[in-house]
Amino acid sequence: MPTGVALRDAREQLFNAAERVLLRDGPHALTSRAVTTEAGCAKGVLHRHFTDFDAFLADLVLDRIARLDSRAAALRDAAGTGTVTGNLAHALTDLFESVAVAVVGLITSRDELRARLRRSTPTGIPVLTEAAAMIAAYLTAERELGRITADADVDTLAPTLIGAGHLIFADRKGVPPEPGAVQKVVTTVMAGVVREPRP
């Protein structure tokens, strides 16, 4: 392995390599050697940018959490358009078809990583907690527009949708669920609080 090859934006290349290993081989295969081999660089490159491998993994998770901001903004902007259940089904599919399911598996399988992430996400499971906040913000906007009932408990509905969505996408090696399955879950969870769109 060449050691003198400079990587442009080494952190992002290492993060992308880690994602590929994680998605292809699962959390237990994610080692510093696997990441640097996948990135095509010397192992020392990772250690020049991060104090240790758990610091690398924590930064990877935090980077992927930060990427939820654009998804959250797009979902909030969708309030008042389309249908509430359609917007939610799309948001859950977009979230869980990404690396989010694999990252949750990584977090739950590494004690030291969870301990480091507790500093920024003291409760809940990182990624899922932020995703629930994204859904809650959207539901709040829809409630203000009158497209869901005024008494809708968005702080219960949001984590319920995230949990149900995670469960149907959680089989990493399996075939993704049919779009109709996601829509059915959303429709069931939201039954009783969604109002018909106003003409």
The pair of structure tokens assigned to 72 is: 């959250």
pLDDT of residue 100: 81
Determine phi and psi for 44, rounding to 5 degrees: -65, -25
For residue 5, what pLDDT is reported? Answer: 43
Per-residue confidence (pLDDT) for residue 171, from 0 to 100: 66
Torsion of CA 60, 55, 17, 121, to 10 degrees: -20
Query: Residue 10 and residue 132: Cα distance in Å, rounded?
Result: 31
Q: Which residues contact 118 (CB under 8 A, 6 or more apart)?
A: none
d(CA 35, CA 17): 6
pLDDT along the chain (199 residues), means of 10: 54 92 88 93 87 92 88 94 95 86 86 86 84 96 96 97 90 72 94 74
| From-to residues of CATH 1.10.10.60 in the chain | 10-49
Specify the pLDDT at position 69: 86
Q: What is the pLDDT of residue 1?
A: 40
Residue with token string 């992430």: 117
CATH superfamily, domain 10-49, is Homeodomain-like (1.10.10.60)
The pLDDT score that the predictor gives to residue 103 is 86
Superfamily of segment(s) 61-190: Tetracycline Repressor, domain 2 (1.10.357.10)
The model carries a pTM of 0.84
Provide φ and ψ at 138, rounded to 5°.
-65, -45
Which residues of the chain are in CATH 1.10.357.10 domains?
61-190
